[in-house]
Structure 1
Amino acid sequence: MSSELTLEQSTKSFDGYQYVYSHDSYTVDCNMKFGIYVPSIADKECVPLLIFLSGLTCTEQNFITKSGVQRLASKYGFIVANPDTSPRNCNIEGENDQWNFGEGAGYYIDATEGKWSENYQMFSYINDEFYELILSNFNVDIDRIGILGHSMGGHGALISFFKRPSQYKSVSALAPICNVTKCEWTRNAFMKFLGQDENLWKEYDACELVNSYSGPIPYAPILIDQGSDDKYKEDYLFPNVFLDACTKASFPIHLREQIGYDHSYYFIMTFLEDHFKYHKNEFEHSD
């Protein structure tokens, strides 16, 4: 099953085009938008794909307007696709009451509880429908697909990699929420989306998933960047808990503390090229 795409925006940038498309999603049962940068080389041959997952309160616009990704996607010859962070305009009571829950805050999980379960199926949307939509409509090298994200999106990238190892060659993250069962934001959301059984929550916790991961090991340790002055680091993101979990699981990780940086897009744009380099290196060592 494949959705028909509607072109919403087409803007020349560097040697390619920044597009925004919309489509009627059968997974989350609403109209969804996504951004995608396509370099000119993709007109001639299959190229690597990076999927970027954004953080709380974001739409598809934040990343494409604030990060400078177009220059990097052009330079490295990658298609870069970035979906929205949640379903939109579903008219569910309470979905706009909190900044960190509901619209703009889908947490990339599949809800099981009541009124949320029909629309808030973001894990399946990202890793099934959206994934196949990009492969079906753009010139992607299926053996060179990576995923990365920021904050809530970093959480989404990590769990997608651990739960779908056959789909992603590489993963990295910027200031990800690493331990969702401890984070106040996610505990509030998971209680509503998944109910009170915390064993179900663990199925979407990177610190838990790395312990049971049995897929391919990346060529180089996965890259995680974390700003030292990020006000969310200690109480919401828990990078060191994830580092400990990876160490215990003998899973390779490179956690870099970036001195003086906070949680903003200034942090993202500063280190984003390092993540392109990281994924390029992983792609070059594809089997």
Structure 2
Amino acid sequence: MTDNPFTLIERHACCGGEIHFLSHQSQELGLPTRVNLFLPPQALAGARVPVVHVLAGLTCTQDTFLIKSNAVRYAAEYGLALVAPDTSPRGADVAGEDEAYDLGTGAGYYVDATSDPWAAHYRMGSYVRNELPTLIEEHFPIQVGHRGVMGHSMGGMGALSIALGDAEAWRTVSAFAPISSPSQVDWGRKVTASYFGGYEAEWTQYDPCLLLDSGRIHPGTLLVDQGSDDEFLDRLRPDLLEQAAKAAGQSLKLRRHEGYDHSYWFVQSFIQDHLKHHAEGLL
């Protein structure tokens, strides 16, 4: 085992386990970055535990999901570690990265930018798919290979694309109100123009619907929850995900909830179901 690259910033007892606020120098991002880790009571007692990576949405940070979703309580109950990365590089000093909520800081989309000036640091795709999980499993009491991913909104898109893109590495997946087909909506078109230099084909490995269309199937069930009163419904397009899954033969459990919006109040309402879904597939 190599020297631990993580610096512990804070540690807090929570639900019988511990929350670790960490930082490290990312090779993929070329910058220092922050990540939060929850270790359940079982890990503190010496056991190696499964892990679920949780991806937040636009404007969020590594703090958002663990603080707002109420996931920690159920992760402790089921014996799951949680890993929460940031949503973009910080301090990349790209001109204009702080001008809009849906591009740049807080809006990495879990993709690797291919166009300058973004390409040097905006590599959240490789960071969350490869670098971070490898480091976490090497330096903390995690069962190697017992890995799931979940997310909200932009993070839901990331979770689906990560699991569909490498089903062997990610045993379980779920999402709240994901951007189901970013290449076909305004948020994604903004990414195409900036991060991908206008090349729409770059979405092939990140768009859940395009992945399904290309035959990338996950052996498990995709658990997706969507609120009917979501103010971003026209940009999330769960109908496209449903159509793509049906055409591809992908098992999808898409649950629509009357009266629920896009907020973390919605996420809190159904988070236990998601953690149970992951526990059943990972334990």
What range is the shorter-chain TM-score in? over 0.9
Question: How many residues align structurally?
Answer: 281
Residues 2 and 263 of structure 1: is their aligned pair in 2 closer, same or farther, counting only changes over 3 Å?
farther
Other structure's SS at 1:116 match: coil
Could you tell me which of 188, 191, 195 is aligned with 1:189? 191
**Structure 2 equivalent of residue 226 of structure 1:** 226
> Secondary structure, in 3 states, of the residue corresponding to 1:114?
coil
Residue 259 in structure 1 maps to residue 255 in structure 2: no
Whether contact under 8 Å (1:3, 1:24) holds in the other structure is: no
Question: Structure 1 2/104 Cα, relative in aligned 2: closer, same or farther at 3 Å?
Answer: farther
The aligned amino acid for 2:270 is F
Q: Is the 8 A contact 1:175 1:227 kept in 2?
A: yes
Paired residues for 1:89-238 under 5 Å = 89-214=91-216, 217-218=219-220, 221-233=221-233, 235-238=234-237
CA distance in 2, matches of 1:3, 1:68: 29
Unpaired runs of at least 5, structure 2: none
Superposition deviation, residue 125 in structure 1: 0.5
Partner deviation per Cα, 1:74-99 (whole Å, 9 max, x = no partner): 11110001100000011111110111
Q: Which runs of 5+ in 1 are unaligned?
A: none
- Deviating 4+ runs (over 6 angstroms): none
**1:18 partner SS:** strand
User: Per the alignment, in what secondary structure is the counterpart of residue 136 of structure 1?
Assistant: helix
Q: C-alpha displacement at 1:143, in angstroms?
A: 3.2
Q: Mean alpha-carbon deviation: is it higher for 202-211 or for 113-122?
A: 202-211
Name the residue aligned to 2:267.
268
SS of 1:99's partner is coil
Do 2:167 and 2:219's aligned partners in 1 also have CA atoms closer than 8 Å? no
Helix, strand or coil: the match of 1:9? strand
Q: Secondary structure at the match of 1:115?
A: coil
Mapped partners of 2:113, 2:87: distance in 1: 14
Match of 2:23 in 1: 22
Deviation at 1:283, TM superposition (A): 2.2
Could you tell me how far apart the structure 2 residues matched to 1:215 and 1:259 are?
29
RMSD of the TM alignment (CA)? 1.4
Q: Is the 8 A contact 1:37 1:80 kept in 2?
A: yes
CA distance in 2, matches of 1:205, 1:55: 15
Q: 1:3 to 1:208 in 2, by over 3 A?
A: farther
**SS of corresponding position for 1:194:** coil
TM-score by length of 1: 0.94
